[in-house]
Structure 1
Amino acid sequence: MATESTNGSPPLGKYLASTDKKTRDKAIKSLAAFLSDPAREALPKAEMAKLWKGIFYCFWISDKPLVQQALATEISDILLAISDLSVSLAFLRGFWESTVREWNSIDRLRIDKYYMLVRRFVNASFRLLIRAEWDGAACKEYNGILTQHGGPLCVDDQRVPLGLAYHLADIYAEELDKALANPPVDSPLPAPITTLLAPFATLLARAPTVVAYDRVQSALIDPLLDALLSEGTSEEPPSRKRPRLSTETYLHLVSNSCTSNPEPEKPQSTTALRKAVLQQLFDIASEPDTRDASRRRLYALWKERSEDDESEDVAKKRSRTVDAS
């Protein structure tokens, strides 16, 4: 199978859409080799869209859970096989544009495998940023991919399905925690937590409905703040009005993160991280384009969680007094 045409674009469409699994497998491997060529520049937007249409259909016709899992991993790992960061990010942009475009066409029998594919790409994206040592420009472009018009977290584009944003909120901190579990030995930089949460802070501020706001807060923000509050103390997190059935711990995330400027081997305390996240929510609540309903909820969240911090401080002081006696 040829890996590229004379004009430098991969002639893989008909192979990716083949009914023969072996042909599709060869096409994916050829695609990885094509894109990972160090001399390769990012494909033009039209070519990337055409390529992702083929990849999307290739995944669509894959069957059997183990086959789907292996293919999802193989496709997402292309992000890390590409040596040029800008080419990797262009491939990632193509993935999200294709996913948003095709999401509403996915039937209920296939939706779970696409949830899995999204999860794999979120994890691979974090590993890519870890490898780039959380480069500021790379993180900014990554956030832009998520929030741009047509991106999965763009609240101003009515074509973007909210179900996709909800799924991202469900898995975001979990996949970041997994990615931080085995950081490169030569790149032990902590994750800039407020930078990575920025797209979701914007989503909360401009959520189109109360349901959307509550869904993102309960799926991502509440579990993360609970983890940052309970870490390092034997005290249980203060009870919520609607307590979660289980509390995520995110051990790797809370122990290997900083607020915004990564420095070697200098993760920040959970108290500092939590206060930074709360400050981020307070600041975006103050923005003029924040919806009034969201503004009220963000201020209420900030107030409630700040009171949690005060309760924790009292508990820690009490514990130190007991230990001293």
Structure 2
Amino acid sequence: MGPRVQLPPEIQLAQRLAGNEQVTRDRAVRKLRKYIVARTQRAEGSFTHDELLKVWKGLFYCMWMQDKPLLQEELGRTISQLVHAFQTTEAQHLFLQTFWQTMNREWTGIDRLRLDKFYMLMRMVLHESLKALKTQGWEERQTERLLELLTTEILHPDSQAPNGVKSHFLEVFLEELTKVGADELTADQNLRLIEPFCRVATRTQDPLVLHNITRGIFETIVEQAPLAIEELMTELEAQEREATSEGDEATSEGEERDRAGLPGQPPRGRVWAAQPVLGQEQTEDSDDEDRASSVLQFDYEAVANRLFEMASHQDTPPLNRKRLYKVIRKLQDLAGGLFPEDEVPEKAYRNARGGRRVRMKRRLSQARWQTVTGGGAAEARPEPSPGPARRRQRRSAGADPAVSQEQPGGRGRRGAHGGRRRPRARPTAKAAGRQEPKAKRKWTPRGQ
């Protein structure tokens, strides 16, 4: 019997990561983290592309074998945070590149019951990659490298990425970017971060990618514009309050000392000056914090100009140009101070079918206005549309017994056009000018 061949450490870890026992998989994940830290500390001991592909295959099946949603979430967070174990940016870049290549390769083999856990894993890895970019101070070169990686591996036509990976990435990118950098990113940095999506939207031949970029990136920016401006105004007001509070600090301290001697009145300017009732204002404050979440700030005019510059190129497909021009108009309206919500009547927000009812009320108000101005009742009455007239004609035809006898097929069968069976008309009173149908004569044999 020959000597036993020693497998490379990456293959050994991959086999343990895909093991049947959860204890073995958890122990392999911890060993993998230590192995990454120890190997990337040396300049000559960095990973190769093939080695990281083997590592990610073991991590993929480690996630595949994990059951129970809470444990899946914990494992996904542990796997995604492995990007911070790499000591160099080149190793981090290669680790993220092999992750998206692994997802593109294995996506078609994922069954319906396991899709949610891998959707969650993609979201977490994207979140941690943006967080690693944040720790580097949003350095311009590193930002361009990450955006180029994501564009090449996911959105490029030669990437072979499935539609599920593309759609989910475009759906969660702006959301994860908001979570990581909404508090510190400027409008110029945000424009630089969405510029690759503008470029892809003007060149892609895939209508699904165009729709997902338009809906997940540009339309989301338009929808969040009122929240972004409200947050900006709140920050400006807070800065003004801080500036005025510094000037009034000496006056407030004097009033505090005066108020401190009065019985039953706590001093002003304290945190505990007005004690809220438990369960009232505290819950309101928490609700306000949930509603006033941070959003990304954009210079809408700059975004519209950059998008127009790319979309107006002669190589842009006509379908892409037509779709992007609609977005450009909305961005230009936002730059001019016009919000999409201003065009919707206030009644439409209070009614589930507000749009239809508002149009009906508007039509009725015009008819009443004609009556008041002297147009006469006959002139003010709106003419019936041809649709109700045809329905009334069919209804009257169904009520006439003579017409119903002439219909082919006899009783109980549908007409020639396959219409529904109409109920038998009830006897009505004789109207003036209406000819009643003749009564049927009883058949008698000839000669009697």
* TM-score bucket of the superposed structures, by smaller chain: 0.7 to 0.9
Quote the residue 2:135 is aligned against.
Answer: 131
Contact 1:153 1:199 in 2 (8 A): no
Summarize the alignment of residues 272-311 of structure 1 with structure 2, pairs less than 5 Å apart: 273-311=299-337
TM-score by length of 2: 0.56
Deviation, structure 1 residue 24 = 0.7
1:8 & 1:47 partners in 2: Cα distance?
A: 9
Matches of 2:194 and 2:51, distance apart in 1:
31
Match among 240, 243, 252 for residue 294 of structure 2: 252
Structure-2 residue corresponding to 1:218: 215
Partner of 2:149: 145
Conserved? CA contact 1:180–1:253, under 8 Å: no
TM superposition shift of 1:233 = 4.8
2-structure distance, mates of 1:211, 1:9:
38
Q: TM-score, normalised by structure 1?
A: 0.75
Change (3 A) 1:134 1:288: farther
Matches of 2:126 and 2:159, distance apart in 1: 23
Contact 2:228–2:295 (Cα < 8 Å) also in 1: no
Structure 1: tracts of 5 or more residues without a match: 235-248, 255-269, 316-325
Q: Is the 8 A contact 1:10 1:31 kept in 2?
A: no
Partner of 1:312, secondary structure, is coil
Name the stretch that deviates more: 122-131 or 206-215: 206-215
Alpha-carbon distance between aligned partners in 2 of 1:112 and 1:71, rounded to the nearest angstrom: 14
AA partner of residue 78 (structure 1) = L
- Structure 1 window deviating more from structure 2 (206-215 vs 51-60): it is 206-215
Residue type matched to 2:163 in 1? L
Q: Answer with 1 or 2: which has the greater Rg.
A: 2
Q: Contact 2:224/2:295 (CA < 8 Å) preserved in 1?
A: no
Percent of residue pairs identical: 28
In the alignment, the residues of structure 1 paired with residue 320 and residue 73 of structure 2 have an alpha-carbon distance, to the nearest angstrom, of 38
- C-alpha RMSD of matched pairs (Å): 2.8
- What are the ranges of 5 or more consecutive residues in structure 2 without an aligned counterpart? 1-5, 232-290, 342-448
Once the two structures are superposed, residues 275-300 of structure 1 have per-residue CA deviations (whole angstroms, 9 ceiling, x without a partner) of: 23222322221345433311222123
CA apart distance, 1:10: 6.3
Structure 1 runs of 4+ with >4 Å offset = 5-10, 188-191
CA distances 1:249-286 after superposition (whole Å, capped 9, x unpaired): 894342xxxxxxxxxxxxxxx4x522232223222213
Q: 1:112 aligns with which of 98, 116, 119?
A: 116
Using the alignment, how far apart are the partners of 1:147 and 1:99 within structure 2?
15
* 1:201 corresponding residue in structure 2: 198
Aligned residues between the structures: 273
Aligned equivalents of 1:102, 1:90: Cα separation in 2: 18
